[in-house]
């Protein structure tokens, strides 16, 4: 852990130094009357292409291009550095041209989603180990289906052994909808157990209407509810870890596409500054 | 039969086969019943049966692998089909595949939207990187007004972006509108390479050490200087357009110094002294501040008056409409109170415009040179001359044979021809007869005849307006009187006292008394048989015309009409260009030589409104802010080496009082302004020490 922290401090220091150096170089280039927008623009474009290449790199694991972990570190810190280059490129003010505004918006979305993704991957990965078993995201529907089947079997069995339909009614009204799909996405994301405790409390309150056998069945169901809740928790966090990329990556490609248009425009309309 | 048990092996539920990196997964996966084969990469279900039976002899054998439960008990159907058919599924994309598909769609959408935007009629609005500056916003309507590629289609833009020449042509479009930038608009400072090289050499040769400018040095060492690598500078090097209301001309001090040979820290630290700034030539109007403060104002108003004058610069100087320059007030406001009388000084003899030259009639008669009647001049009359006046020669220069005769006479004194040769005497006779003819013709023909004679000589060498001004100024009535002087009815030659001429002594006294009262204008001076002129006041048109008609404009060829005219005008200029001549024009109006001839500076410096020098200074705000002490703060009066002379200043007059014509030779009344006076206010703290506060980039 200490080693990890040392690396993080080192990388952050490098990031700050790089940002300061870039800022100084930009100032010197301005002093030399260089076309700083062009210089910073090409640098920014190169950085964005490099960042976008990370996704390609993940799809080409057989190429000797360094470890994915190293790429991720570069991706994170170069990504953060783009904010400085972008600020220098636009002169630290909001653009008001049509295409420029679109580009800035796209960059903003990509950057913010990237930072958000970084924060999520840092926090959610830890939380995933705190509840339930670690399961593959693709298998979660299978397990949910299995639990739902088990619950249905338990309830049907209880009907054979008991004259009361209390459990069956409770199942029909409250549990079957609960087990049919993933529930309480936002509560799980925000680390709130209120729906889980509410349902479990409701089930415990039901105990006084049940006989001993039925109470055992209900306890069994409560275990299933907890298992399903843990599964939903896993699903929520894993889905979040996967679906933030549905914003980050597609918008990155859109950004690259519009950046190419932008490059074409500024090249053809350039005023000749050197 | 349709299998409804686990479809793929006995341990399927414990050993489900997930394919997170495959684009599709089995549609039954969420049910927990995914098939082992899974869909194709294109998302097609490929599981029709659990196995593909093979034939051994006449028997079909189950081919289900052990991993999937081994051979089934039922075995294949008689036709060789697997008995355990699988219900086909609708494969679903996994997360990665969905994300890839979304990415592809978004990218395609972006590319499509980009092409549509840039091909649409409103592409200018979309492509515009921002608002124009207020100055351009008023006049620029379309992209192509400023951009070479602006007129093209999307394909042209793509071509232009790859071509790389559009940028070079861009600045030319700027210059097409900004034509006032001169012939070297894209050179640094709009100056020629020669001028820049000279300025650079001068800067490098200066003794003073500029303080090192670290930032500029580092910037130049890393990024170079635009002038090092580019012969021409694009407008966009300094002017960043499409930034809305931001200044289009803002540059930092360091940016200015990137191109300069000597860099320094700030105006206060390192900026060179002004050297001889402002005082690069003598003034056009000769006004000696030292002698005026020390003598003339002292005489007029005593020490108090002189001291007061030192603080009343605005009595004679006033800011121009732009506030930049301090102009000299006009003559009536600043000079007339003292100098008007000098101009109209009637103690000076008027200028003899035309006069009957005094002739040695005895010699002419002895040599039998026939000249008809000619009155005898009063002997020893100070204003009588044995020469033709310059204007007489000018009017005669077009007459037949006059040039030859005139040059034969040379500088012969017509009042003493005793030593003249026969040829010269013949020439004198011819000249006198032509003079009489000229006078008669002008008296008869009036101004048109004068004009004809002048135009015959000048042709196009002298401006017609000046010719007409001179011709029309002559008083014909007086010329008729002069003609009458040559009439025999007025007396006979050698007659000591003709019927019309009084006793010489009495006549002289009467004449003096009469003409002294003549304040200005034309008058006849019978005792010297001359028509004279005294200026009507300041800016007298006749004297101005006579000084303005440049002798230098006419060729020097001798013995030709133009050669005679050249000498006549030259002599007229010499007569009038003395500070003691009638009108005293050149006492204050300096004369300078340029363009092959002398020019009288009738007016003080009049700055052109569109002037753009390297340095700019606005007097008005400084005068307003600093009030009474404003002028003296910068313009410190100094004692001149020639201050002991009350009038003579060698840069304006030579020792013989002929005008000095080299404007670059001068000694100034004032010491050059010092930077120390400026840095009190123009500091970094007041943000008024920018290069652009006092310097223009575009010089023209």
The domain locations on chain A are 2-130+244-268, 137-240
DSSP string across A1-62: -HHHHHHHHHHHHHHHHHHHHHHHHHHHHHHTT--HHHHHHHHHHHHHHHHHHHHHHHH-TT
Question: Out of B237-246, B345-354, B390-399, B422-431, which region has the weakest mean confidence (pLDDT)?
Answer: B345-354
Q: Judge contact between B324 and B616, C-beta under 8 A.
A: yes
Question: What is the pLDDT averaged over residues B623-647?
Answer: 71
Question: What is the pLDDT averaged over residues B475-504?
Answer: 65
Cβ-defined contact of A267 to B129 (cutoff 8 Å): no
CA B433 to chain centre: 55
A33 near B CB under 8 A = yes
* Main-chain phi, psi angles of B261, to 5 degrees: -70, -35
Q: Which residue has the higher pLDDT, B20 or B209?
A: B20
pLDDT value at B84 more than 50: yes
Q: Largest Cα–Cα distance of chain B, in whole Å?
A: 175
Q: How high is the pLDDT of residue B379?
A: 52
Strand partners, B407: none
Number of neighbouring beta carbons within 10 Å of residue B330: 15
Q: What angle do CA A251, A253, A255 make, to 5 degrees?
A: 70
Among B158, B106, B150, which residue's Cα sits nearest to residue B125? B150
Interchain CB contacts (distance < 8 Å): A and B:
179
Among B268, B241, B267, which residue's Cα sits nearest to residue B256? B267
DSSP string across B449-488: HHHHHHHHHHTTSS-HHHHHHHHHHS-HHHHHHHHHHT-G
CA B456 to chain centre: 39
DSSP string across B285-322: B---HHHIIIIIHHHHHHHHHHHHHHT-GGGTEEE-TT
Cβ-defined contact of B105 to A250 (cutoff 8 Å): yes
Q: How high is the pLDDT of residue B525?
A: 84
> How far A201 CA sits from the closest chain B CA (Å)?
30
Q: How high is the pLDDT of residue B8?
A: 36
> How far B164 CA sits from the closest chain A CA (Å)?
7
Q: A interface mutation test: which of B8, B161, B173 has the most A CBs within 10 A?
A: B161
**H helical segments located in chain A:** 2-31, 36-59, 68-89, 98-128, 140-161, 166-170, 176-180, 185-189, 194-206, 212-243, 245-268
What span, in angstroms and rounded, lies between the C-alpha atoms of B76 and B67? 18
pLDDT < 50 stretches in chain A? none
Question: What is the pLDDT averaged over residues B344-366?
Answer: 85
B145 near A CB under 8 A = no
Question: What is the pLDDT averaged over residues B285-310?
Answer: 79
Strand partners, B671: B636
Q: Which residue has the higher pLDDT, B689 or B500?
A: B689
pLDDT tier at B497 (50, 70, 90 boundaries)? very low
Compare CB distances from B237 to A245, A250, A273 and report the shortest one's residue: A273
Between positions 122 and 141 of B, the ones with CB within 8 A of A are 125-131
Q: Judge contact between A261 and B114, C-beta under 8 A.
A: yes
Partners of B258 on chain A (C-beta within 8 Å) are 31-33
Strand partners, B521: B534
Pairing of strands B54-56, B59-61: antiparallel
What span, in angstroms and rounded, lies between the C-alpha atoms of B219 and A29? 6
CA-CA-CA-CA torsion for A121, A127, A132, A135, nearest 10 degrees?
10
pLDDT value at B565 more than 80: yes
Q: b vs e for B253-277, b when ≥16 Cβ sit within 10 Å of the residue's Cβ?
A: bbbbbbbbebbbbbbbebbeebeee
- Give the whole-number percent of chain B exceeding pLDDT 70: 86
Question: What is the pLDDT averaged over residues B586-602?
Answer: 88
What span, in angstroms and rounded, lies between the C-alpha atoms of A96 and B471? 70
CA distances from B2 to B13, B53, B88, B132, B409 (A): 19, 17, 11, 74, 146
Partners of B236 on chain A (C-beta within 8 Å) are 35, 270-273
B30 near A CB under 8 A = yes
> How far A177 CA sits from the closest chain B CA (Å)?
17
Q: How high is the pLDDT of residue B6?
A: 35
Q: Which residue has the higher pLDDT, B207 or B264?
A: B264
Q: How high is the pLDDT of residue B554?
A: 67
pLDDT tier at B4 (50, 70, 90 boundaries)? very low
> How far A206 CA sits from the closest chain B CA (Å)?
31
pLDDT value at B20 more than 50: yes
pLDDT value at B13 more than 50: no
What span, in angstroms and rounded, lies between the C-alpha atoms of B305 and A245? 89
Q: How high is the pLDDT of residue A124?
A: 93
Minimal-distance CA residue of chain B relative to A137: B20
Per-residue pLDDT tens over the stretch A232-259? 999 999 999 999 999 999 999 999 999 9
Cβ-defined contact of B130 to A96 (cutoff 8 Å): yes
Q: Write out the two tokens for B142.
A: 């379309």
pLDDT value at B381 more than 70: no
pLDDT tier at B496 (50, 70, 90 boundaries)? very low
Q: How high is the pLDDT of residue B384?
A: 64
Show Cβ contacts of residue B118 under 8 Å, excluding neighbours closer than 6 positions.
Answer: A261, A265, B126, B127, B154, B157
Beta strands per DSSP E along B57-175: 59-61, 92-93
């Amino acid at each position: 852990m200490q080693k990890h922290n040392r690396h993080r401090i080192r990388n952050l220091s490098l990031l700050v130094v790089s940002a300061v150096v870039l800022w100084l170089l930009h100032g010197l280039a301005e002093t030399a009357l260089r076309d700083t927008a062009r210089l910073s623009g090409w640098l920014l474009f190169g950085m964005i292409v490099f960042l976008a290449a990370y996704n390609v790199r993940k799809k080409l694991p057989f190429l000797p291009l360094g470890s994915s972990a190293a790429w991720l570190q570069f991706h994170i810190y170069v990504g953060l550095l783009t904010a400085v280059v972008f600020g220098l490129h636009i002169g630290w003010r909001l653009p008001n041209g049509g295409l420029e505004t679109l580009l800035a918006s796209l960059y903003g979305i990509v950057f913010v989603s990237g930072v958000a993704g970084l924060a999520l991957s840092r926090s959610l990965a830890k939380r995933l180990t705190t509840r339930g078993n670690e399961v593959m995201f693709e298998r979660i529907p299978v397990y949910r289906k299995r639990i739902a089947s088990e619950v249905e079997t338990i309830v049907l069995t209880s009907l054979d052994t008991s004259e009361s339909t209390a459990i069956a009614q409770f199942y029909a009204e409250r549990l079957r909808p609960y087990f049919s799909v993933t529930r309480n996405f936002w509560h799980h994301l925000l680390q709130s157990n209120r729906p889980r405790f509410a349902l479990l409390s409701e089930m415990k309150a039901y105990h006084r209407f049940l006989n001993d056998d039925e109470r055992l069945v209900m306890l069994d169901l409560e275990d299933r509810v907890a298992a399903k809740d843990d599964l939903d928790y896993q699903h929520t966090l894993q889905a979040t870890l996967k679906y933030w990329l549905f914003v980050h990556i597609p918008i990155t490609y859109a950004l690259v596409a519009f950046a190419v248009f932008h490059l074409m425009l500024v090249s053809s309309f350039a005023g000749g500054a050197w | 039969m349709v299998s409804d048990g686990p479809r793929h092996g006995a341990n399927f539920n414990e050993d489900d086969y997930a394919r997170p990196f495959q684009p599709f997964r089995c549609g039954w996966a969420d049910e927990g019943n995914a098939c082992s084969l899974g869909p194709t990469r294109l998302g097609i279900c490929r599981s029709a049966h659990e196995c593909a039976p093979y034939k051994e002899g006449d028997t079909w054998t189950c081919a289900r692998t052990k991993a999937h439960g081994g051979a089934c008990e039922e075995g294949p159907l008689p036709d060789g089909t697997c008995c355990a058919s699988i219900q086909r599924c609708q494969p679903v994309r996994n997360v990665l595949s969905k994300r890839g598909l979304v990415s592809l769609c978004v990218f395609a959408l972006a590319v499509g939207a980009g092409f549509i935007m840039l091909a649409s009629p409103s592409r200018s609005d979309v492509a515009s990187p921002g608002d124009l500056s207020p100055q351009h916003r008023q006049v620029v309507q379309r992209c192509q007004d400023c951009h070479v590629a602006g007129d093209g289609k999307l394909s042209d833009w793509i071509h232009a972006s790859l071509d790389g020449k559009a940028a070079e042509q861009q600045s030319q479009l700027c210059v097409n509108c900004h034509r006032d930038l001169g012939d070297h608009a894209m050179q640094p400072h709009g100056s020629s390479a020669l001028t820049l090289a000279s300025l650079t050499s001068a800067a490098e040769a200066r003794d003073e050490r500029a303080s090192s400018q670290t930032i500029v040095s580092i910037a130049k060492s890393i990024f170079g200087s635009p002038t090092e690598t580019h012969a021409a500078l694009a407008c966009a090097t300094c002017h960043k357009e499409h930034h809305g209301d931001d200044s289009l001309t803002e540059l930092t001090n360091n940016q200015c110094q990137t191109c300069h040979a000597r860099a320094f820290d700030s105006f206060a630290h390192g900026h060179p002294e002004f050297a001889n700034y402002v005082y690069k030539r003598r003034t056009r109007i000769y006004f000696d501040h030292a002698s005026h403060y020390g003598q003339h104002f002292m005489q007029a108003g005593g020490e108090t008056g002189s001291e007061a004058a030192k603080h009343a610069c605005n009595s004679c100087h006033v800011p121009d409409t732009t506030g930049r320059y301090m102009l000299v007030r006009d003559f009536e406001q600043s000079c007339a109170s003292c100098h008007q009388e000098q101009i109209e000084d009637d103690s000076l003899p008027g200028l003899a415009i035309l006069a009957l030259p005094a002739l040695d009639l005895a010699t002419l008669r002895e040599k039998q040179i026939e000249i008809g009647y000619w009155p005898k001049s009063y002997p020893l009359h100070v204003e009588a001359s044995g020469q033709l006046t310059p204007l007489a020669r000018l009017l005669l220069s077009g007459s037949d044979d006059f040039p030859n005769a005139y040059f034969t006479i040379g500088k012969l004194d017509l009042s003493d021809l005793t030593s003249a040769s026969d040829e010269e005497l013949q020439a004198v006779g011819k000249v006198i007869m032509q003079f009489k003819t000229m006078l008669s013709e002008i008296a008869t023909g009036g101004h048109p005849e004068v004009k004809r004679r002048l135009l015959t000589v000048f042709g196009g060498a002298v401006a017609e307006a000046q010719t007409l001004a001179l011709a029309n100024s002559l008083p014909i009535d007086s010329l008729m009187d002069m003609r009458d002087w040559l009439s025999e009815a007025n007396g006979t030659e050698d007659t000591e006292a003709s019927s019309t001429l009084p006793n010489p002594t009495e006549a002289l006294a009467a004449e003096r008394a009469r003409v002294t009262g003549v304040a200005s204008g034309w008058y006849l001076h019978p005792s010297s048989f001359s028509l004279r002129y005294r200026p009507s006041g300041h800016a007298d048109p006749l004297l101005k015309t006579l000084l303005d008609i440049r002798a230098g404009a006419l060729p020097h060829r001798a013995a030709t009409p133009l050669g005679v005219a050249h000498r006549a005008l030259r002599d007229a200029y010499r007569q009038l260009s003395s500070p003691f001549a009638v009108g005293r024009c050149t006492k204050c109006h300096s004369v300078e030589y340029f363009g092959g001839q002398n020019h009288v500076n009738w007016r003080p410096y009049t700055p052109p409104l569109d002037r753009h020098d390297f340095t700019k200074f606005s007097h008005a705000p400084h005068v307003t802010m600093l009030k009474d002490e404003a002028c003296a703060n910068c313009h410190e009066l100094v004692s001149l080496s020639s201050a002991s002379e009350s009038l003579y200043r060698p840069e304006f007059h030579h020792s013989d009082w002929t005008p000095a014509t080299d404007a670059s030779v001068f000694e100034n009344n004032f010491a050059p302004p010092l930077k120390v006076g400026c840095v009190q206010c123009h500091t970094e703290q007041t943000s008024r020490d920018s290069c652009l506060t006092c310097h223009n980039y575009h010089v023209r």
